[in-house]
Structure 1
Amino acid sequence: MKRLSLTSRLTLSLAVLVMLVMATVGYALYRTLEQQLIIRDDGALITRVEQIRTLLLNEDVMTLIHDKPGLFANMLGNTESLLVLRFPDGTPLMEVNPGRSPIPRITPVPAGAPLTLAAVHHAVTADGIPFISASALANISRAPYQVTITTGRLMSERTRTLAMYRNQIILVATAATWLTALLAWFFIRRGLTPLRRLAAETASMDIHYLSRRIGITRAPSELRQLIEAFNSMLERLEINFRQLSQVSADMAHDLRTPIGILLGQTEVAMRFKRDTDYYENLLGSNFEELQRLARMIDNMLFLARAGDAGHAIERAALPLTAEFGRLSDYFEGPAEERGLTLACERNGATVWADPELLRRALANLLANAVHYADTGTAIVLRAEQRPEGTTISVENAGPDIAPHHLERLFDRFYRADASRAGDAGASGLGLSIVRSIMVLHQGRWHAQSGKRRTRFSLFFPAKPA
């Protein structure tokens, strides 16, 4: 089943709302008019009985009733009314009933009691037309000194008036509903023009136009927040796509070097028959290049897994004295080869982190420091614990890194010195892995360099209470 459009939904909602409002108002007006007409007709009937009561006190009126009863028929004013005068014993004095309406049998109001609207009786004929009646005793000047007055009226005129009014209400409500629907459809469709324009602009964007942004000047206030969020998304997509393109290019470049070496050495070896020592040296060289490729692929796989929001880590409170000792023992050999020393300032600090990921991050920082530190200097591994968390830093002496490089050191395949791109074992992914590990720990990372001192700092948040 096809879903209704937003324009159709809003139009239908407004039309139904107007119909309900008009029906409610019309019903209220109809009921008010009906009650007013009932009160008016009941009052007119009571007034008629009071008038007849007063007339019957006159002796001349009694004579006139015998001689000219037609005068009272004219007094009723229409053929739907009736008037019956009877003596208490049931003997009729006068009966005027041109419409042949059934004479109601109701208890008359005593002669001395006042007539109120409560004395009016309401009934409905077989045709569904209301019939009102009232009865009262009246004093006369001759025996038997009382007469029963019974009067009534068929409310055909009132029924026609109310039916006409009801039909007008239905007609007006229907016309208002259709008019509202047409106007609502027109104005809603016109009002949704910015939304259709926004849809057209977004549909025209593809991978080649990520730098485009949706204009916000002419947009209504209701859409500005959506447009701002969409433009922010486009900006993030553009940055990520640019980084992905750069990563792909850098990865292809870095993979091409060892693969080219392997192909070149193998091609040279296949031209002529060589001795065993040559093949052993060739296999050793190829093994180193293959190890480099394996490390690069392993790092890329780690970064891909770390980028997944569902990547789970198992944290624990780790004493840094033991962790620093383990790392010092591991890097003692590579540091001695370059004439470097390792100094650890433990201070009895602990860190809330995943053991394997912590060791990998610190190992990458130490490997970077050993690689670029000046010969004969010391690499300082320092820890500082505070209530909000623990900061671990690796500091070494060496060439300064320009500020514009510091901002991108943790990007994938980025190197501050392009001349080092061919360094053996360097893939440009070490610091990027450090950043991914810190993201998993909801921590922070920072690099600063100046006066031939470079320092990398990692902040691990404390364990939640």
Structure 2
Amino acid sequence: MNRSIAWRLALAIALTCALVLSVIGVFLYRSLASELTFRDDQALLGRLEQVRALLHDSDSLEALQERPRLYQNMLGNLDSVLLVKRSDGGRVIAINPHQQTLPDLPPIAQDSSPLRSDIQTVDNIALLTGVAQGPRDEPLIVTVGKRLQEREQMLASYRGRLYMAVGFGAVLAFGLGLLLLRRGLVPLRELAQAMRDITPRSLDQRMPADDVPAELKEPVQALNAMLVRLEDSFGRLSQFSADLAHEIRTPLHNLLGSNSLALNQPRSPDEYQELLASNIEEYERLNRMVENLIFLARADHGQRPLQLQTLALQTVGDELCDYFEALAEDRQLQLNNSLCGELNVDQQLLQRALGNLLANAVRHAEAGTTITLQRLDDAQYCWVGVHNQGPPIDPQHLDRLFDRFYRVDPSRAEPGDSGGLGLAIVRSIMLLHHGQVRVRSDAQGTLFELGFPALPRSA
């Protein structure tokens, strides 16, 4: 069963409080036991000295025996034990209310002061034995003791109260902790409600970050950043769907219109052949669009593995210039290949990316100018670019040139173009190579560049 965070934290608080209270309780219990033991030991040491003095100052042992109240009052309670014996074992004074059997312990010498280490515990009785000097210098053996039952009962009662205090403290800590945690988690529930209110139609909403606790500011800011990305991606996806529908609708309308006109009245074989040729152009346009979309989908999902090899860039540039030479001559353009050196890339993808850039350059360059293939290296990337001289691109379009189906001038779509997917394919190819694309356009011309990660140089 999954417990809530509040329950888990409250339980952790309760266990922590129980542990802390237990440690404090053990400390207090041992301190009390040590203090009681010390007092009882000091009382026994003092009692032995008092009995020694009493025996030494008495006129006779018979007088002590006739006045038992003297030493009974000195003992003070029924848990005390006093035994005075002669050297031959004869008892002079015997006070043992519970008639417990007392063992024979080695006595402390007369001239030695008793120490706590001399006290021995036997059968739950603390005993201390020493030699005393009676009347007429008669040697006597004195045993004083105290039954520990009362002390044990006191400590047992104290232990029980400690157990109750620890248990009650843990329960109280759990209850208060759960209450405070639930109150403290109110901002999370408010954030959850705010998230539930965000729908695909309201992706422009943001989570409130001003009144949230400091611990939640960073997650809320991360959520808002994610919402910005989602809104941008959703907007691009919506625009892509609309552009895709528009791009497909145009050739479909052309096909439907031409076929409808052909069916309205009989046509000659030459007219039917002309119609079929026109339809084939539209089908080819649709086919190119589908192939480009399939490539983009595979590239986005990493289903197009790279086949890296070391290529001579000058050879790749010469082949592309030969391929576009006829189209460039028709537009009165010159092609200049300035590429040099080697590059570790996928040959097919590099040719496709540069081919798309060259096709755009040939389409938009001014007649009589030169299109140049060039290379520029920096610390991080090897930049392979295509430069053409033509009308500069408005800066507002530069950030969207690599979006799918985006055209600076939609009315200038020409037969054989990529349907607005050429630059999008270029960006996907560079993402597969973990590279970058960039564009610069001004009065000096337009430069599209492909940035391939530079290989680390050997020392």
TM-superposed CA distance for 1:51, in Å, is 1.1
AA in 1 matched with 2:338: E
Structure 2 matches for 1:114-133, cutoff 5 A?
Answer: 114-124=113-123, 130-133=124-127
CA–CA distance in 2 between the matches of 1:426 and 1:307?
A: 18
Q: Cα deviation per residue 1:283-315 (whole Å; 9 max; x = unaligned)?
A: 222211111111111111111122225653233
Structure 2 matches for 1:151-166, cutoff 5 A?
Answer: 151-166=144-159
Q: 1:400 to 1:96 in 2, by over 3 A?
A: closer
Quote the RMSD (CA, aligned, Å): 1.9
Residue 442 (structure 1) aligned to one of 434, 445, 452: 434
CA–CA distance in 2 between the matches of 1:310 and 1:19?
A: 57
CA–CA distance in 2 between the matches of 1:404 and 1:445?
A: 17
C-alpha contact 2:309 2:346 (8 A) present in aligned 1: yes
Residue 248 (structure 1) aligned to one of 241, 248, 256: 241
TM-superposed CA distance for 1:450, in Å, is 2.5
Match of 1:138 in 2: 132
Aligned residues with identical type, % of pairs: 39
CA–CA distance in 1 between the matches of 2:67 and 2:435?
A: 114
Match of 1:22 in 2: 21
C-alpha contact 2:61 2:92 (8 A) present in aligned 1: no
TM-score by length of 2: 0.94
CA–CA distance in 2 between the matches of 1:98 and 1:319?
A: 114
AA in 1 matched with 2:78: T
TM-superposed CA distance for 1:256, in Å, is 0.8
CA–CA distance in 2 between the matches of 1:203 and 1:31?
A: 57
Match of 2:173 in 1: 180
- The total of aligned residue pairs comes to 457
Structure 2 matches for 1:219-368, cutoff 5 A?
Answer: 219-309=212-302, 311-346=304-339, 348-368=340-360
TM-superposed CA distance for 1:443, in Å, is 2.2
AA in 2 matched with 1:405: H
CA–CA distance in 2 between the matches of 1:236 and 1:386?
A: 30
AA in 2 matched with 1:78: N
CA–CA distance in 2 between the matches of 1:205 and 1:309?
A: 31
CA–CA distance in 2 between the matches of 1:402 and 1:298?
A: 30
TM-superposed CA distance for 1:270, in Å, is 2.9
TM-superposed CA distance for 1:80, in Å, is 1.9
TM-superposed CA distance for 1:99, in Å, is 2.3
CA–CA distance in 1 between the matches of 2:17 and 2:314?
A: 77
SS at structure 1 position matched to 2:450: strand
C-alpha contact 2:60 2:135 (8 A) present in aligned 1: no
Q: 1:25 to 1:19 in 2, by over 3 A?
A: same
Whether 1:103 aligns to 2:97 is no
**Which 5+ residue runs of structure 1 have no aligned equivalent?**
125-129
TM-superposed CA distance for 1:426, in Å, is 4.1
CA–CA distance in 2 between the matches of 1:121 and 1:361?
A: 98
Q: 1:408 to 1:39 in 2, by over 3 A?
A: same
CA–CA distance in 2 between the matches of 1:378 and 1:76?
A: 123
C-alpha contact 1:349 1:385 (8 A) present in aligned 2: no
Match of 2:387 in 1: 395
Match of 1:430 in 2: 422
CA–CA distance in 1 between the matches of 2:325 and 2:171?
A: 88
Q: Cα deviation per residue 1:300-337 (whole Å; 9 max; x = unaligned)?
A: 11111222256532333321110011101111122222
**Which 5+ residue runs of structure 2 have no aligned equivalent?**
none
AA in 1 matched with 2:27: A
Q: 1:452 to 1:132 in 2, by over 3 A?
A: closer
